[in-house]
Amino acid sequence: MSNEYENYRSVLKSTLSYVEDSSFSWDDVVGFLVIKLSNTDCLKTNKNRSVSNATQIQLTSRREADGDVRPTEDFFPTLTLNTTFKSWRISVPTRINLKNISSLEGTEFEGDSHWRMDCIQIRRRLLNGENGNPALHICYGDDLKPLRELLGVNDYLVIVKRKSEAVYEAFGVKSDIDLGNGKGMYLQPETSRDKDSTVFAFADLTETRVCGGRNVLLYGVPGCGKSYMIKHTYCKDAHGIERVVFHPDYTYGDFVGQILPITDDEGKIKYEFSPGPFTRILRQAIDNPAKKYCLVIEEINRGNAPAIFGDIFQLLDRDDIGNSAYEITNADVAEKVYGEDSTGKVTLPPNLSILATMNTSDQNVFTLDTAFQRRWNMRMVENDVSKTSIAKKKILDTSITWAQFNDRINSLILSKNVGMASSEDKRLGAYFVTENDLHLYTSEDGISEEEAIMLRFFLIRFLVDQIT
């Protein structure tokens, strides 16, 4: 181990000598994480493959022969303060070097400041159930993306620990430099290393995962503003949104994922699990705990929702902060989300919300059973035309506004359907038309008089149809 440490320091000091300055010296380095990238954990890969949003290295806590040295804890001293937690994820401040970025790009660095502050994430989980060994994963997502995009298969990500420093450094090294064939941790020998005085207070490195994830099903008449509310209320500050539309032919495989044939780099056909929108957004949410994510399901009752969700159905039960109250076993999904060393267990994190819409006036579609509905916060979207931006917009060349027309039409609909329990569902939605629909087209719009008349005819016919 000691020889490996010295060899790595020598090679890296020679290869990356240009990064040294008053804030960083290779002589101060007490440990390295060296990660050789595979075709499943780097961005420069076969497009037919699914690429993980995080490069991971398993760091299982273990004691050396003398019973005193714990390499994992030596590299991340904070971990000794958190052994009581079964699982957690924290962000650790990490710098990337812009001279290193320029070198990987093959360009000359221009500028004065050549360090950029980012972070790496440390995840701790128990392998093999409640009594399993604690395993640590080093992951990076969007924070180190500029570096990550420049590293291809067989290139290296190197994370550096300096003595008594709570800030790490991450570097990229091309494959023409031989740093080994796998993933490993290399530490300065205990005999030549003073006890690291780095103090990580858990209060300073708090769990960064956003809480509050929920399942919300918005229902109401067509055009009442369900999708608008999702965009401007529930997903306003979301980092990522995955949107799907359910329909009669939509399946579990479409939604969660399925085994599909692919062609590898050698032209051979093999079968791999291809993730669906649920698995893709789940992986993003897991890899980026400080950001909100939303899975949006439009027209949820136009497909057989309980069948489409399948075993994912169990995850919809959530605790107060948004974690799944229960977990499911799904090896294919777990491997895509958590990596190859996953336990096969899957849960929903609290930074992922699932939002769905449903038109209550739809006929001849799938019904949602009570067991499915109770796992959602059902919220009716009020059909209020006064809140639309086109409420006072006049229709064509008339003096009648959209709000006046909408109110009148809905009054007629309700009067014609007195005694029908579902008459409320048949109303004309406040957002059923757009401003362009109400616009009086003329020759100034680049169309002929005949085309303008035809457009007016279609709009009038459309509106009349809503009454009848």
Give the confidence band of 463 by pLDDT, cuts at 50, 70, 90.
low
Write out pLDDT tens, residues 274-324: 999 999 999 888 877 778 899 999 989 889 999 999 999 999 998 877 888
pLDDT at 125: 61
In SS3 terms, 434-446 reads as CHHHHCCCCHHHC
Q: Are residues 393 and 327 in the same domain?
A: no
Q: Pick the range with the lowest mean pLDDT from 131-145, 199-213, 429-443, 449-463.
A: 199-213
pLDDT at 172: 93
Residue type, 280: R
Q: Are residues 134 and 14 in the same domain?
A: yes
Last residue of a domain, one of 334, 360, 380: 380
Residue 413, domain extent? 387-467
pLDDT at 148: 82
Q: Are residues 247 and 181 in the same domain?
A: no
Give the confidence band of 66 by pLDDT, cuts at 50, 70, 90.
very low
Give the confidence band of 63 by pLDDT, cuts at 50, 70, 90.
very low
pLDDT at 428: 63
Q: Which long-range contacts (CB under 8 A, 24 or more apart) does 97-103 make?
A: 97/16, 97/19, 97/169, 97/171, 99/18, 99/19, 100/16, 100/19, 100/147, 100/171, 100/172, 101/146, 101/147, 101/150, 101/172, 103/18
Q: Are residues 338 and 287 in the same domain?
A: yes
Edge-to-edge strand ranges of the sheet holding 168-173: 134-139, 115-126, 88-97, 168-173, 156-162, 29-36, 183-187
Look up the CATH number of the domain holding residue 312: 3.40.50.300
Is the pLDDT higher at 417 or at 42?
A: 42
Q: Is 407 inside any structural domain?
A: yes
pLDDT at 81: 43
Q: Are residues 57 and 83 in the same domain?
A: yes
Q: Is 206 inside any structural domain?
A: no
pLDDT at 276: 94
Q: Is 391 inside any structural domain?
A: yes
| Residue tagged 């336990």 (tokens) | 343
CA atoms within 13 A on the CB side of 278: 27
Q: What are phi and psi of 160, to 5 degrees?
A: -115, 140
Cα–Cα dist 118/95, whole Å: 6
Mean pLDDT, residues 424-449 = 61
Q: Are residues 185 and 237 in the same domain?
A: no
Q: Are residues 267 and 308 in the same domain?
A: yes
pLDDT at 1: 46
pLDDT at 3 over 50: yes
Look up the CATH number of the domain holding residue 33: 2.40.330
Q: Are residues 153 and 30 in the same domain?
A: yes
Which stretch, 35-39, 159-163, 457-461, has highest mean pLDDT?
A: 159-163
| 107 and 146 Cβ atoms separated by less than 8 Å | no
Write out pLDDT tens, residues 86-128: 556 666 778 899 999 999 998 988 877 788 887 777 766 655 5
| Residue tagged 């109250």 (tokens) | 325
The model's pTM is 0.54
Last residue of a domain, one of 160, 192, 224: 192
Mean pLDDT, residues 36-52 = 63
The domain total for the chain is 3
pLDDT at 149: 83
pLDDT at 203 over 60: no
What is the maximum span of the chain, computed from C-alpha positions, in angstroms?
92
Name the nearest CA neighbour of 383 among 438, 434, 417, 424.
424
Q: Is 210 inside any structural domain?
A: no
